[in-house]
Amino acid sequence: MVTTESFGARLRRAMDTRGPLCVGIDPHASLLAAWGLDDTPDGLERFSLTAVEALAGRIAVLKPQSAFYERFGSRGIAVLERTVAEARAAGALVLMDAKRGDIGSTMAAYAATYLDPASPLFSDAVTVSPYLGYGSLRPAVEAARESGCGIFALALTSNPEGAEVQHALRPDGTTVAGSVLGHLRAENAGERPMGSFGAVVGATLGDTIAAAGIDLDTGGPLLAPGIGAQGATPADLPVVFGAALPNVLPSVSRDVLRHGPDVTALTAAAARIVEDVRAVVEA
C-alpha cells in the first residue's frame, strides 16, 4: 500500500520517538555459529526472526543485508521476505541494504523489487550506488517518490578503498562525493521535516570531511555506518557531521548482534547505544 506520508517524515518521527539508530541484520556464517545455529536456511530464519523479535518493536530502523540471504538462493530470499514483513508489522522502518546500481530498465527492475508495494521485498528504503552516474538512479528516485519510500546513496563510505572514487575531483573542482551530495540536496529541496533522499557517510571519517570543505547538510538523512566494530563511537559523530548532526542515523550491527541469541540481551544492547547516541545528538 502506498503511503501518503513521505519516508523522510516517517523516519524523522521514528528517530525522535524511538531514538536515532539503525541496526543491521547481518547473518554471516560466523555470527550464526556464535549463536549456536547452523549455516543453513533454517539457521538463517531463526537468527533473523530472533533479531526482529528483540528489536523491531523498539528500534527506528532495521537494515537487513541482502547478500547474506541471497547466498542461500530461493530459501534465503523467502526468509528475507518474512524478515522484512515482520519487522515492518512490528513498527520498524526497513532499510534494505542491497547497494543496487545499474542503468535503464535494469535499474527500474531493482527499484520495483524494493520500492513497489506489490513486491514481496517491499521496504521503506533501499541503499543504492550512484557510481554509474547519479542520473542512473532516476528510476529509483521516481519509484521512491511514487510509493512514499526513500533511498540512501553511497557518498562517503567507511571503507578505505572508497576514497579513490569518492574523493576524485571533477572538472569543476568538486569531488565526486560532493556531486552526489549536491544531487541529493536538490531532491530534498523544500521537504519538511526531513527529505527522503539520504546519503551514506561513514562515521569513521574523522575530520577529513570538514578539511575537504564538503557540506553534508542535504536536508535528508545521513546513514552513518562504522560505529562499534569498525572503530567509531557516538562521540565521534559531531566531529564528522557538524551542523548536519540532527539528521544522522548511526548504523550498528555486530555490537548489538554479538549479544544474541538472548532476546533480552539484544534489546538491552541496542537500548544502550540509543542512549549513547541521544546524549551526543541532544547535547
Q: Annotated active-site positions, please?
A: 99
Q: What is the 3-state secondary structure of 103-119?
A: CHHHHHHHHHHHHCCCC
Classify residue 236: in a domain, yes or no: yes
- Size (the chain), residues: 283
Classify residue 134: in a domain, yes or no: yes
Classify residue 223: in a domain, yes or no: yes
In tens, the pLDDT along 70-103 reads 999 999 999 999 999 999 999 999 999 999 999 9
Strands 61-64 and 22-25: parallel
Classify residue 212: in a domain, yes or no: yes
What's the one-letter identity of residue 139? P
Classify residue 219: in a domain, yes or no: yes
Give me the sign of the Cα torsion angle 217, 144, 157, 239: positive
Kindly report the number of other CB atoms within 10 A of residue 207's CB atom: 11
Please state, rounded to an integer, the average pLDDT across all residues of the chain: 95
pTM: 0.96
| Cβ atoms 259, 283 nearer than 8 A | no
Q: Which range of residues forms the domain containing residue 65?
A: 7-281
Which residues are CB-contacts of 35 (< 8 A; sequence separation ≥ 6)? Answer: 43, 46, 47, 50, 260, 261
Classify residue 2: in a domain, yes or no: no
Classify residue 1: in a domain, yes or no: no
Q: What is the mean pLDDT of residues 17-32?
A: 97
**Structural domain total, the chain:** 1
In tens, the pLDDT along 32-67 reads 999 999 999 999 999 999 999 999 999 999 999 999
Q: Which of 213, 199, 205 lies closest to 134 in space, CA to CA?
A: 199
Q: How far apart are CA 141 and CA 108, in angstroms?
A: 10
Would you give the DSSP letter of residue 245?
Answer: G
What's the one-letter identity of residue 151? I
Classify residue 27: in a domain, yes or no: yes
Q: How far apart are CA 277 and CA 283, in angstroms?
A: 10
| CATH code, domain carrying 231 | 3.20.20.70
Binned at pLDDT 50, 70 and 90, residue 231 comes out as confident
| Cβ atoms 26, 257 nearer than 8 A | yes
